[in-house]
Chains A and B, each alone.
Chain A
Amino acid sequence: MENPSLGMFIAVFEEVFGKTLFWAMVAAAAIVTVLYLYVLIRDRSVSWRKFLLAQVSMPFGAVLAVVFLWNVTHSGFGDIGGPVDLLVLLGVAAIGAIGAAILVYTIQSLIQGPDRPPQ
């Protein structure tokens, strides 16, 4: 691998999704991330009650990510051919899980507001 540049990767991403969709997704991801940071700063603590539901969503995010990838690539679990494939599978699942958790946590925080302090 010689000199892969950030510009080249961006060019490839733009071709995968189309320019509009790619940058819309970048924007969406950035907005969710910013909102996540916003609610953390606003609440000045992690709400473990909200985090519980976020955790519950993680397996769904993981499965959804893997099934989505299998569907768009005409492949399935039986195509795992070596250790690197298992790592890719786990990596995709992990990204799905973390993405789902952040999204669910942020949505809850935005809708419900900060936890009330214990009475």
Chain B
Amino acid sequence: MDFPDIPTTRRALLGALAAGGTAALLPGEAPAQHRAVQTSANIVILGAGAAGTALANRLSARLDGANITVIDPRQRHLYQPGFTLIAAGLKPSGYSVSQTADWLPRGVTWVEAGAAAIDPEAQNVETTDGQTLAYDYLILATGLELNYEGIEGMSRELIGQNGIGSVYAGPEEAAATWREMDRFTEEGGVGLFSRPATGMKCAGAPLKYTFLTDHYLREKGNRSRSEIIYAAHSDTLFGVPIVNEKVRMLYADRGFNTVYNHVMTAIDPGRKVATFATPEGDVEIEYDFTNVIPPMRAPAAIRESGLSWEDRWVGQGWAEVDQYTLRHARYPNVFAAGDVAGVPKGKTAASVKWQVPVVEDQLVAQIVGDTTDHIYSGYTSCPLITRVGRAMLIEFDYNNNLVPSFPGLIAPLEELWISWLIKEVALKATYQAMLRGRA
């Protein structure tokens, strides 16, 4: 890594990439540079993930005198966009792991416990260690729950054995998934890929991992001895129509066998068979390797708080917020950011990057008795890896419009090396700068 004799070269080339990546994937606001607002408000942030940590940093810089409390039991902070690279054998599991304490600013109180219950009428949060914390403003940034038990026969313990992988579960599980994928691509066979019918984080990830498995099968000369099946949960591969068409063409080009309207309901690790619910009834598909993506939902404390949507995403419990202001529909002193927010798009780190300044500005405006027209457009980004070394830098909004950061330069629907470089080099750095409230 160290090239002391060419400092100019190294600095310039990686610097240029970092600069391009910053602008491309996570464009957005400059860090908070407003005058500090005096307040004695009690602000409780549930969750110290991407959104919670970034908001803790931004609000503590923006507000003078506020009492900010972050509630999260996890000592480890996980850079989730890195899981795909770990599960592709390109990074060690430690790549995604840092310490929660390292990101939280001074002056913020960190309660190392989970949220057991939320009472939005009484405006308090009960923690799993028995504390009751009153709030004036509440920010829901809990992330989501991977409901492995929602697939009959599936559990976290199965990941890394008998051809079962699951990229989402965590860095160690992503590494275990790589070991299974590595073994499978050495031997060949049937690779089975799917996604759940629920809202999910990074809807591009199931597609990426299918492409990556195909890449290694080809590299090892075993593609001709293998079959790749992609079971889509609906009649499309991706929610944005223009992207869906591109992915459909790439899947055809790669020779994937795509089936539609298949939702995994059960798995039998002994027989290596997965069962899918389809309009024609249950269908069993055998596999030698599969990347199980479980149904996803809001954590229990959110689902049971009365803060969830009742008539949308039924049973999934996403917070009922306005999709533009991210303010709760019934409790105006409650906001949501990140995966738990019940908005049509935006369960990615790139979305968090755009949501966080909106929540910050909306909240601060409310504190000073003002309003702001700063809203969230639904911006979401997905560096859709199509093989090791190439990706498509796809950015879109609520209207399914492509919103490329470099129109005319980095084509969103082309498999490009530069998009891969952005994913590999610049994104984690941009994410970390975002956590600190500096990007």
Contacts and interface: CB of A to CB of B under 8 A. Distances in A.
Contacts, number: 158
A interface: dominant SS: helix
Interface stretch (A39-47, A48-56, A90-98, A110-118): A90-98
Contacts of A3: 29-30
Contact of B11 (A1, A12, A25, A69): A25
Contact of A7 (B11, B19, B31, B405): B31
Interface of A: 1-5, 7-9, 11-17, 25-26, 28-29, 32-33, 61, 64-65, 68-69, 72-76, 78-82, 84-85, 88-89, 91-92, 95-96, 98-100, 102-103
A89 B390 CA distance: 14
B15 A13 contact: yes
B27 A1 contact: yes
Contact of A25 (B7, B17, B410): B7
A85 B12 CA distance: 17
Given A8-B31, A29-B11, A92-B13, 14 more contacts: A7-B30, A15-B430, A16-B18, A29-B8, A29-B12, A64-B9, A69-B421, A73-B424, A73-B425, A75-B421, A78-B389, A81-B414, A99-B7, A99-B8
Contacts of A12: 18-19, 21-22, 426, 429-430, 433, 439
B434 to A, nearest CB: 9
Contact of A16 (B417, B418, B425): B425
A92 to B, nearest CB: 5
A79 B389 contact: yes
Contact of B417 (A9, A15, A72, A75): A75
A95 B30 contact: no
A114 B151 CA distance: 77
B438 A85 contact: no
A2 B420 CA distance: 22
Given A72-B1, A72-B425, A96-B6, A79 B420 contact: yes
